[in-house]
Amino acid sequence: MKDVAARAGVGLKTVSRVVNEEPGVTPDTAARVQAAIDALGFRRNDSARLLRTRRTASVGLVLEDVADPFYAGLSRAVEDVARSHGALLFTGSSAEDPRREQELVLAFCARRVDGLVVVPAGDDHRYLTPEIDAGVATVFVDRPAGRLNADVVLTDNAGGVREGVAHLIAHGHRRIGFIGDLPVIHTAAERLRGYREAMAAAGLQVAPEWYTMGPTTPDRVRAALASMLSGPEPVTALFAGNNRVTVTAVRVLSGQPRPIALVGFDDFELADLLDPAVTVVAQDAPGMGRSAAQLLFRRLDGLAPPEPARVVLPVRLITRGSGELPPAP
């Protein structure tokens, strides 16, 4: 605001009047202030008394969908760390829409959050540079930022799928299917890479009809799986790219005449009580949220090294039955 006042050659009070649309400013002066605002990229701050140098004790969390159990667990962990630092949490779901992600992030910044934990939907986060420069600590989680060097907490996605697919191969499978999320999603692309690498490492050729990427809606997953299970060379095993795919796959496979092996990425409640119990590559959703939030507060407290950190959390293969089924004859 000081810069705007200096550039327009007016006092702070005049800038304040223009920004708040208060009377007492001539049209000429208002135009000069507006020009200075435009030139400097000044953004109206809804709580301008909260200067950037003073903490607001609030943090913004942008998820894909809080109703997804994976993100619900991550969300609670971020909240608990924020609480231990006396900070409140703004939350919002991007629904995988990059515009909605940006809208939420900038709205949180306009409320002067001290920091952000973001599960990115978009692939270009340069819009955040002015906020980060202004002191908004930002940690990406689950997926890295696009075109921006920033703190990030990830899961070993490719490594986890490699381990799960190698497990299926070790149980005699050669024709293994893979159903993943939209290929623009970092985790989905990484998991597909893990699948390809595991197949290649075992000297297995991947037929194009064995893998498919797209929305993880039940209809899409049903159709994809039906197609993999038909034809002259049907798959004998499936790697499900996330918990949404696994849940639909369990439904489809329970209705199949012959047993199909299944390994899913992400653990889920009651997986051990299904018949067969579901073998999964488990990631630690609360651990990711905790790790991201702790990194955020270390950065806010000046306790993190200046260069952005990259944390990769390990996964865990949990064998329960479905991933140990032999290929159907």
By CB under 8 A, name the binding residues for a copy of itself: 20, 46-50, 56, 58, 65-69, 72-73, 75-76, 79, 83, 88-93, 104, 107-108, 111, 247, 250-251, 254, 268-270, 273-275, 286
For residue 149, how far is the Cα from the chain centroid? 16
Separation of alpha carbons 49 and 117, rounded Å: 24
Q: Give the nearest distance from C-beta 262 to a copy of itself in angstroms.
A: 13
Q: Which is nearer to a copy of itself, 19 or 30 (CB)?
A: 19
Separation of alpha carbons 170 and 266, rounded Å: 21
Q: Which is nearer to a copy of itself, 55 or 196 (CB)?
A: 55
Q: Give the nearest distance from C-beta 329 to a copy of itself in angstroms.
A: 25
Contacting residues for 166 by C-beta, under 8 A, at least 6 apart: 198, 201, 202
Q: Which is nearer to a copy of itself, 51 or 182 (CB)?
A: 51
Separation of alpha carbons 12 and 5, rounded Å: 6
CA atoms within 13 A on the CB side of 213: 15
Q: Give the nearest distance from C-beta 258 to a copy of itself in angstroms.
A: 18
Q: Give the nearest distance from C-beta 87 to a copy of itself in angstroms.
A: 10
CA distances from 315 to 262, 267, 280 (A): 17, 10, 10
What does DSSP say about strands 176-180 and 237-240: parallel, antiparallel, or unpaired? parallel
Q: What are phi and psi of 221, to 5 degrees?
A: -65, -40
Q: Which is nearer to a copy of itself, 21 or 28 (CB)?
A: 21
Q: Which is nearer to a copy of itself, 20 or 205 (CB)?
A: 20
Residue 142 near residue 155, CB atoms below 8 Å: yes
Q: Give the nearest distance from C-beta 34 to a copy of itself in angstroms.
A: 20
Q: Which is nearer to a copy of itself, 206 or 277 (CB)?
A: 277
Neighbour tally for 28: CB within 10 Å? 8
Q: Give the nearest distance from C-beta 144 to a copy of itself in angstroms.
A: 25
